[in-house]
A and B are shown apart, each in its own frame.
Chain A
Amino acid sequence: MDARRSAQVGPTDRSPDGTLGPAAPPAAPDLLARIRWPQEDNKIPREIFTDPDLFRLEMDAVFTGPVWVLVGHESEIPRPGDYKTFSVGAIPVIVIRSADGRIGVLVNACAHRGTRLVEGPSGNVGRGGFRCIYHMWTYDTEGRLTAVSLPQDFPSDFRKEDYGLARARTETYGGAIFATFHDDAPPLRDYLAELADGLDRVLGDGALRYLGAISVIFRTNWKLYIENIYDGYHVTALHTGFQVVRLRSHGGERLVPNYERHGHLWGRSHSTPVDQLNPVLRDMSLFEVRTKPSTDHNIMVVFPSGVVTDYFDTIQMRYVVPLELDRTMIEFVFFARAEDTEEEVWHRVRQGPAVLGPAGAITLEDAAALERVQLSATARGENVVLKGTPRRFPPYRHVDEAPIRHFYQAYRRLLGFTLPSEDAPR
Chain B
Amino acid sequence: MIPTGVLEADARKQAALDLLVRYVRVVDDPRRIEEWPDLFAAEAEYLVITRENYERGLPIAVIRDDSKDRICDRLVIIKQFWGAGGRAEDHHYNAGWPRHIVGPTWVESGDAGQLLVGAHFMVWSTAAVDGSPRLLVVGEYRDVVDFATGAPKLKKKTVILDTSILQDVFVYPL
- B164 smallest CB distance to A (angstroms): 7
Q: Nearest B residue to A349 by beta-carbon distance?
A: B59
- Using a CB-CB cutoff of 8 Å, which residues 23-64 of chain A contact chain B? none
List 27 interface pairs A-B (beta carbons < 8 Å), by A numbering.
Answer: A211-B60, A212-B53, A212-B58, A214-B60, A215-B164, A215-B165, A216-B165, A216-B169, A217-B166, A241-B80, A243-B86, A280-B80, A283-B69, A283-B70, A346-B59, A353-B63, A354-B64, A354-B70, A357-B62, A359-B170, A361-B81, A362-B81, A364-B82, A364-B93, A364-B169, A368-B93, A371-B94
Among B72, B93, B170, which residue has its beta carbon within 8 angstroms of that of A365? B93
Query: Is there contact, CB below 8 Å, between A244 and B64?
Result: no
Per-position binary interface string of chain A over residues 114-140, scored 1 when its CB falls under 8 Å from any chain B CB and 0 otherwise:
000000011000000000000000000
- Using a CB-CB cutoff of 8 Å, which residues 37-79 of chain B contact chain A? 48, 50, 52-53, 56, 58-64, 66-67, 69-70, 72-73, 76-77
- B91 smallest CB distance to A (angstroms): 11
Q: Nearest B residue to A214 by beta-carbon distance?
A: B62
Q: Nearest A residue to B161 by beta-carbon distance?
A: A214
Query: Is there contact, CB below 8 Å, between A365 and B166?
Result: no
Residues of B near A371 (CB, < 8 A) are 94, 129
Residues of A near B64 (CB, < 8 A) are 349-350, 353-354
Query: Is there contact, CB below 8 Å, between A216 and B129?
Result: no
Q: Nearest A residue to B173 by beta-carbon distance?
A: A359
Q: Which 5 A-B pairs have the closest CB atoms?
A: A212-B60, A212-B58, A241-B81, A368-B93, A282-B69
Give A214 to B64 CA distance when docked, in angstroms.
13
B8 is an interface residue with CB less than 8 A from chain A: no
Q: A216-B167, A241-B81, A372-B129 are in contact. List 8 more A-B contacts (CB 8 A).
A: A214-B62, A214-B166, A282-B69, A346-B59, A354-B70, A357-B62, A358-B166, A368-B129
Residues of B near A214 (CB, < 8 A) are 50, 53, 60, 62, 166
Residues of B near A368 (CB, < 8 A) are 93-94, 129, 169
- Using a CB-CB cutoff of 8 Å, which residues 196-228 of chain A contact chain B? 210-219
A281 is an interface residue with CB less than 8 A from chain B: yes
Per-position binary interface string of chain B over residues 81-100, scored 1 when its CB falls under 8 Å from any chain A CB and 0 otherwise:
11111100000011000000
Q: Nearest B residue to A371 by beta-carbon distance?
A: B129
B108 is an interface residue with CB less than 8 A from chain A: no
- A321 smallest CB distance to B (angstroms): 10
- A73 smallest CB distance to B (angstroms): 14
Q: Taking A244-B80, A375-B130 as contacts, is the C-beta distance between A217 and B168 under 8 angstroms?
A: yes
Query: Is there contact, CB below 8 Å, between A216 and B59?
Result: no
Q: Nearest A residue to B58 by beta-carbon distance?
A: A212
Query: Is there contact, CB below 8 Å, between B94 and A364?
Result: yes
Query: Is there contact, CB below 8 Å, between B67 and A283?
Result: yes
Q: Taking A353-B63, A359-B63 as contacts, is the C-beta distance between A240 and B81 under 8 angstroms?
A: yes
Residues of A near B168 (CB, < 8 A) are 216-217, 219, 367
B19 is an interface residue with CB less than 8 A from chain A: no
- B168 smallest CB distance to A (angstroms): 7
B33 is an interface residue with CB less than 8 A from chain A: no
Q: Nearest A residue to B70 by beta-carbon distance?
A: A283
Query: Is there contact, CB below 8 Å, between B169 and A121?
Result: no
Query: Is there contact, CB below 8 Å, between B60 and A352?
Result: yes
A363 is an interface residue with CB less than 8 A from chain B: yes
